[in-house]
Structure 1
Amino acid sequence: MLRVSALFTENAELAALSQQAEQLALTQKKWNAVVPAALKPYTQAGSLSHKRLTVYAANGAVAAKIKLMLPSLMLGLKKQGLEITSIRVEVQVQSAAGKPAKKVRTLSPAAAASLEKLARELQGSPLGEAITRLSSRR
């Protein structure tokens, strides 16, 4: 049985893909070293071609902040050993995974009893009816 690494070295197309993946991982590591910690979760380094690094931002606000910091980021990346002349910032919105399920809220027995008492005192009024409905959530 062949090892996975052997497959990547024997096949020319897979070897090129493996080399590109290693280059992207190295670029991301160097990007993470220079980008501020507050922006790190919202950015991702992309391809590096013709001495231009593409950076993907999660939203427009992050992209604008990165654009304001371009000179210092480029200087930091050059110190990290990346030979770049420009950085291209693109907004790449992540698809949201649906809304989380709504929590069902319940009242404690003591709270329900207090509300029932209040509802009896306000019986016949719209507020009393609303409090009756609220007290039934146990």
Structure 2
Amino acid sequence: MEWIDTDAAGIYHNTTVVRFAEAAEAELMRRYDIPGYFPVAPRVRYEVEFEASIRFGEEVETRVELIRLGRSSMTFGFEVWRSTEDGKPDRRAARGSYVTVHVPDKETGGSAPWPAAWRAALDAAGAAGRAEPDGASAH
């Protein structure tokens, strides 16, 4: 955790959790070879429960999981864990979920089905592509 991630008291700012989740999501999309995902997948809903503080200098681990792959939306669950000095998850600091929607045409802004190749890649990963500590995670 860097100083820029914290408030004036040195405790992580709530928006930091969103950045951590999106970094783990980016790793997941790279792992399953989903090119061009972020420019066409805006977030339409976020829900976060904050459970413990993380302070400047502490290590974190973020896990993201694809919970639901819909026709034009995806629902992800995530957790942010504070880590011990040896890198093991210690205490969950935040958990939540968010929804992205496929919006390939920025002019109309309407949703559209996910590309077949993306669906196939995610389905091959088990439809709910998991990101565990040894999977798509961000530190």
Q: TM-score range by the shorter chain?
A: 0.3 to 0.5
Structure with bigger gyration radius: 1
Query: Which of the pair is proportionally richer in strand?
Result: 2
Please give the TM-score of this superposition, normalised by the length of structure 2: 0.34
Relative contact order higher in (CA < 8 Å, ≥ 6 apart):
2
